[in-house]
Amino acid sequence: MYERLLDDHQRIQQILASVLDDSVHFLSTLGSRPAGCVPPATIAETLPQAGIGATATLDLFRSKYADWMSGAAGPHYFGLVTGGATPASIVGDWLTTIYDQNATGSNDSIASQIELVAIGLLRELFGLSEAHAGVFVSGATMANFVGLATGRQWLGHRRGVDIAQSGLSGLPPIRVLCGTPHSSVYKACAMLGIGRDCLERIATLPNREAVDVASLRKRLVELSDSGQPCLVVGNAGTVNSVDYDDLNALADLCHKFEVWLHVDAAFGGFAACVPEKQSLVAGIDRADSITIDAHKWLNVPYDSAMVFTRHLQLQREVFQNSAAYLEADPTPTNFVNLTPENSRRFRALPAWFTLMAYGREGYREVVMRNCKIAEEIGELLQSSDRFQLLAPVRMNGIVFTLAVDTATHSSVQEYLHRVQFGGVLYMTPTEYFAVPAIRLSVTNWRTTQQDVSKVWSGMLSALDSDST
Ligand SMILES: *Cc1c(COP(=O)(O)O)cnc(C)c1O
């Protein structure tokens, strides 16, 4: 065995102990680290001839790179929709690495049964019925891909075509209808051979990101009259204003017009955890397929998400890995036949850990607290003449901009750069009905009510400072 490898192997306890020290230090200082840092533009390395071993590499990482890691896992990072990692999920993720199972669903370990159990717990958390089977994938983008791929298979069958087997040729172009599609839905259409141009944006309600049901109905009538296949994507939490489509109305329409309904509930699905917010996701169980991320509001480490569907057999037709395609595989745990990946990380373990550790009450508290904090920041923005709130705060997300006369793409970028440089908090830019805007998403279990005043003063001081 290579000398350094053997040496590391023999000193693993000592090596992990120093990783533990670093980890505990990082976690305990996360709240005071810069939320987003400004890293050097480029770095370079060459492959060493002789390795230096794990301890020296750890030292190297500490000195060269550790300071440039963002505080994305911490309480003041509000960019994109970003969760942290609960203590129990860290335990689960650590063990996932240590046990290094290939969660293909083979029966050489109990891993696949734990995945089924974790999916069952999540189904309970989100109030989904047992008709929905679920699997873990790497993120909501992949979950949207799987949901639409399964829907595509469904509509093919209705036209006598097995798309997984014989492809799309012979079918008219498939239209995908959505009010405010997440960018990943375009990506899914590109990967599926449906094409980005076949994603049609349906009108939304006035000043809302929620789809206008009457416009959707009109388009469904047209497509059904002309015999064109389509899929509908409903939103349960848009990324800008966290708006929700009327999922019951969408399910009614899709039932009437015999169209597949996929719901992107990447983070908004967590409304189901809180009685006061549950009505936002009413009807979600009626969807044919559903996307929910785990690395956002479940607060497990990257990368992890779930896709649920009522049509597992169709999902299996698409993702079947063996050549014996026609032999039905009734094994519910044969994940290799259900997901884009063949070899898979054991993503269910961190999810299982955190669900067992904190339960329904724990997640209700996190979601409620995050929403309350968003509401309070929204109120501060509303009452300030330096900012403009662009949509009501429904959940954990805020979309706002600088006071009217100053809001341009460059003024927003410059402001966000000053915010990032200040390090107190981190937010990301967007556009809301053509207005250059800023998003703030409260999705981390660590963020508390005490953070509001700190965050607010960080937002204000970046207005006035001209340090860049
Ligand atoms: C984050 C997000 C996605 C994409 O999720 P990834 O986990 O980054 O792949 C899709 N839809 C919505 C609504 C999201 O918030």
Query: Does the C-beta of 211 come closer than 6 Å to ligand 1?
Result: no
Residue 166 CA, ligand 1 centroid: distance in Å: 30
Q: How many CA atoms lie within 13 A of 386 on its CB side?
A: 12
- The CATH number that domain 89-354 falls under is 3.40.640.10
- Mean of the per-residue pLDDT values of the chain: 95
The model's confidence at residue 464, banded by pLDDT at 50, 70 and 90, is: confident
**Paired residues of 341 in beta bridges:** none
The model's confidence at residue 327, banded by pLDDT at 50, 70 and 90, is: low
Nearest to 230 by CA among 189, 156, 176, 289: 176
pLDDT reported for residue 331: 72
Which has the higher per-residue pLDDT, 350 or 170?
Answer: 350
The pTM score is 0.97
Q: Whose CA is nearest to atom 13 of ligand 1?
A: 266
Nearest to 370 by CA among 304, 300, 271: 271
Q: Whose CA is nearest to atom 5 of ligand 1?
A: 140
**Paired residues of 429 in beta bridges:** 438
- Looking at the predicted structure, is the pLDDT value of residue 208 above 70? yes
Contact 289, 260 (CB under 8 A): yes
Query: Does the C-beta of 182 come closer than 6 Å to ligand 1?
Result: yes
Query: Does the C-beta of 81 come closer than 6 Å to ligand 1?
Result: yes
Nearest to 188 by CA among 157, 240, 148: 148
Q: What is the pLDDT of residues 212-244, one digit of tens each?
A: 999 999 999 999 999 999 999 999 999 999 999
The model's confidence at residue 404, banded by pLDDT at 50, 70 and 90, is: low
Q: How many CA atoms lie within 13 A of 399 on its CB side?
A: 25
What are the extents of the domains in the chain?
3-71, 89-354
- Looking at the predicted structure, is the pLDDT value of residue 107 above 90? no
Q: Could you give the CA distance from residue 153 to residue 159 in angstroms, rounded to a whole number?
A: 10
pLDDT reported for residue 133: 97
For residue 282 the two structure tokens come to: 């009413």
pLDDT reported for residue 329: 62
Query: Does the C-beta of 123 come closer than 6 Å to ligand 1?
Result: no
The model's confidence at residue 468, banded by pLDDT at 50, 70 and 90, is: very low
Residue 182 CA, ligand 1 centroid: distance in Å: 7
Residue 86 CA, ligand 1 centroid: distance in Å: 20
- Looking at the predicted structure, is the pLDDT value of residue 394 above 70? yes
Q: Give DSSP secondary structure letters for 104-132.
A: S--TTSSHHHHHHHHHHHHHHHTT--TT-
Q: Whose CA is nearest to atom 14 of ligand 1?
A: 266
Q: Could you give the CA distance from residue 133 to residue 423 in angstroms, rounded to a whole number?
A: 42
Q: Could you give the CA distance from residue 119 to residue 116 in angstroms, rounded to a whole number?
A: 5
CB atoms within 10 A of CB 366: 25
pLDDT reported for residue 467: 47
**Paired residues of 136 in beta bridges:** 306
Contact 234, 147 (CB under 8 A): no
Query: Does the C-beta of 184 come closer than 6 Å to ligand 1?
Result: yes
The C-alpha torsion from 164 through 137 and 35 to 458, rounded to 10°, is 70
Ligand 1, residue 144: give the atom nearest the CA.
Answer: 10
- Looking at the predicted structure, is the pLDDT value of residue 47 above 70? yes
Q: Whose CA is nearest to atom 10 of ligand 1?
A: 140
Strands (E), 217-368: 230-235, 260-264, 289-293, 305-309
